[in-house]
Structure 1
Amino acid sequence: MNNRNNIIFDKSREAYNNMVIPSTLNSKVKEAVNMSAGRKHTNSRIIITVASTAAAIVILFIAGVNTSTAFAATLSDIPIIGSIVKVVTGRSFSEKNDNVTINVDIPQIDVDSTSASDAAHVTAEQVNAIIQKTVDDYMQEQQSVIDDYKKSFLETGGTIDEWNQRTIDLTARYEVKYQDDRCLSLYLYMYMSAFAFTQDNYYYNYDFAAGRELTLKDILGDDYINIANRSIIDQITEQVNSDSNAMYWGYYPAGYSGTDTSENTDKFTTITDDTSFYLNSDGDPVICFPKYSIAPGYMGVREFVVKRQSNS
């Protein structure tokens, strides 16, 4: 890897390496980070092109979601922690080296040192370490792509002056998507504007009080698969019938007489335990499918709001 270009990533790596984790939490944090690193991410895609493009990593953290009767029961004895959990910009820096510019704002989850439970502290440390590792891994991956492309560019007749005329931007930003007295949704996006398109989406759902990851089953109940499937299929059907520009693999508007590809293996049929989701401003899960997975690329990332069932 080009040492000169690597300079722009030193602060990110240094920040990660210098993270102070209490000794009592260290083993649990390392275990969580390692589990996250080994997690199967079905949303990853890298396509080399020659146009200016963008990439996104989405990370969502949802804590203590009181959204279904079953899940509410499991949390009935857990104190509300939303007021003692906050998101701040933990690390922020900008660097420019030759034609590569990096702008990074990395979120950090802080908990009240006096009133937060041990589980909340452990989970916050785990999540912060996972965020930093995700950013570092992405930056390292994109730097490798840049170095490989530069090498090929010069080997095929390009000059260093021509290379330096290219503008390459690497950016990491975040937004707090949802927060109340129990829940926190954090959106982290990273993109490279250059000659490659990458999109990596990571969704993490955590209960800070219980110190565990949440699932769609926790939010929608035992019948979560059928509830989600019915909602998604209904929304797809409505879209293809009302919008002539909407297209999904294997779905057609009423009266369609063209080639039937309903057996397309990419046709949406069911969610799985690996299906990604986050919570919207109403606290409803939004199920996400990466670009190209269930629809043509021009449709982008597909999102479907699934309304929670009434607790009454």
Structure 2
Amino acid sequence: MEQKDLKLSGYRQLEQLRQEYESLPVPLEARDRILAGIAQGKKETDKTQMKGVIFMKLMKRTGMTAAAAMVAITLLTNLHPTIANAMEQIPVIGPIAKVVTFRTYENKTNNFEANIQIPQIEAAPETLNKSIEEYAQELIAAYEGELSQSQGEGSYSLDSSYKVVTDNDRYLCLRIDTTIVMASGAQSTKIFTIDKTTGKQLSLKELFKDRPEMLSSITANIKEQMASQMAADDSVSYFYNSDMPEDDFKELTGDESFYFNEEGLLVIAFDEYEVAPGYMGAVEFTIPSSVAGTF
């Protein structure tokens, strides 16, 4: 590196860095906070300025790609402590997550039909979106297996769609509802509950990892709700206190699907036939804040 390059003024250097950085496809929230850190970093020492020059050269060799954006964020946190502190406040997934249809699987063969929406969460870690796609692939494999086994004879319909049921500062809950119709129908629900600060899917047992006794408390509350609903309405039926106790709902395993409603209350979701007869469909239980708190 030539000596004159090392004597670039802090202003020129940081301005050059700003222009380079603005072209990176990173979330707007991250960009605003990092640029604020850059503005405060104009009084940095010559040592910090040297790091800025090295950073710019590295970026030119790396290329302005999504991967380069991750390199930029990592190096900027080492470039200036103010930026590092700001980055600690940036969630892995933004306050308002954007969920899009990544692709749709469609098939119609005789009386067999499938329509499966496969969502993707923008700015989410690759492993998370991979898990969502793997779940969709399981549905596709089940459909294609039935189609192959029956050679297209008979009737079979599979429909799977998604919606966001929670999107707050901390959590994103992506719900995938699937209905399979053969001689009769069956509904199932899969909810991906994601901690935005880590970008990881959260299970019910992980939610209460510091309070494992909560699973027993929530189980007791669900049983209370079942008993209360059945006492109030003869048409309501659950697998609880039945003539076949071996099939009754026993307790939560910690792997059940769940989300948080608008009031921040925990909602546990069960597939059709899981805790109630088929005519009840897929059922849910909202857990009072006095039992589980709010989220």
Category of TM-score, reference length = shorter chain: 0.5 to 0.7
Note the C-alpha offset of 1:126. Answer: 1.4
| Distance (Å, rounded) in 1 between the aligned partners of 2:90 and 2:217 | 29
Q: Which has the higher contact order (CA 8 A, sep 6+)?
A: 1
Answer whether contact 1:169 1:194 (CA < 8 A) is retained: yes
Count of aligned pairs: 206
- How does the TM-score come out when normalised to structure 1? 0.55
| Distance (Å, rounded) in 1 between the aligned partners of 2:287 and 2:250 | 16
Change (3 A) 1:291 1:92: closer
| Residue 88 of structure 2 is aligned to residue 107 of structure 1 | no
| Distance (Å, rounded) in 2 between the aligned partners of 1:86 and 1:176 | 10
Amino acid at match of 2:286: V
Kindly report which structure 2 residues correspond to 1:232-251, keeping only aligned pairs within 5 A, or say none.
Answer: 232-251=222-241
- How does the TM-score come out when normalised to structure 2? 0.57
In structure 2, what is the equivalent of residue 282 of structure 1?
Answer: 263
| Residue 192 of structure 2 is aligned to residue 204 of structure 1 | yes
Aligned partner (choices 161, 168, 177) of residue 189 of structure 1:
177
| Residue 136 of structure 2 is aligned to residue 135 of structure 1 | yes
In structure 1, what is the equivalent of residue 220 of structure 2?
Answer: 230
In structure 2, what is the equivalent of residue 178 of structure 1?
Answer: 166
Report SS of the residue matched to 2:284: strand
Query: Which has the larger displacement, 276-285 or 187-196?
Result: 187-196
In structure 1, what is the equivalent of residue 274 of structure 2?
Answer: 293
Kindly report which structure 2 residues correspond to 1:43-54, keeping only aligned pairs within 5 A, or say none.
Answer: none
| Distance (Å, rounded) in 1 between the aligned partners of 2:181 and 2:216 | 40
| Distance (Å, rounded) in 1 between the aligned partners of 2:117 and 2:293 | 38
Kindly report which structure 2 residues correspond to 1:6-85, keeping only aligned pairs within 5 A, or say none.
Answer: 79-80=90-91, 81-83=93-95, 85=97
Answer whether contact 1:290 1:301 (CA < 8 A) is retained: yes
Note the residue ranges of structure 2 that are not aligned, 5 or more in a row.
1-65, 71-87
Amino acid at match of 1:83: P
Change (3 A) 1:237 1:194: closer
Deviations 1:1-58 (A, max 9, x none): xxxxxxxxxxxxxxxxxxxx97xx9xxxxxxxxxxxxxxxxxxxxxxxxxxxxxxxxx
Change (3 A) 1:281 1:84: closer
Amino acid at match of 1:108: Q
Answer whether contact 2:229 2:236 (CA < 8 A) is retained: yes
Q: Which has the higher helix share?
A: 2
Larger Rg: 2
Change (3 A) 1:241 1:178: same
Report SS of the residue matched to 2:122: strand
Change (3 A) 1:196 1:186: same
Answer whether contact 2:166 2:260 (CA < 8 A) is retained: yes
Change (3 A) 1:284 1:218: farther
Report SS of the residue matched to 2:252: coil
Report SS of the residue matched to 2:127: helix
Deviations 1:214-268 (A, max 9, x none): 24355566131232023212211210111111122343xxxxxxxx73x611222
In structure 2, what is the equivalent of residue 305 of structure 1?
Answer: 286
Note the C-alpha offset of 1:109. Answer: 0.3
| Distance (Å, rounded) in 2 between the aligned partners of 1:78 and 1:233 | 40
Answer whether contact 1:82 1:182 (CA < 8 A) is retained: no
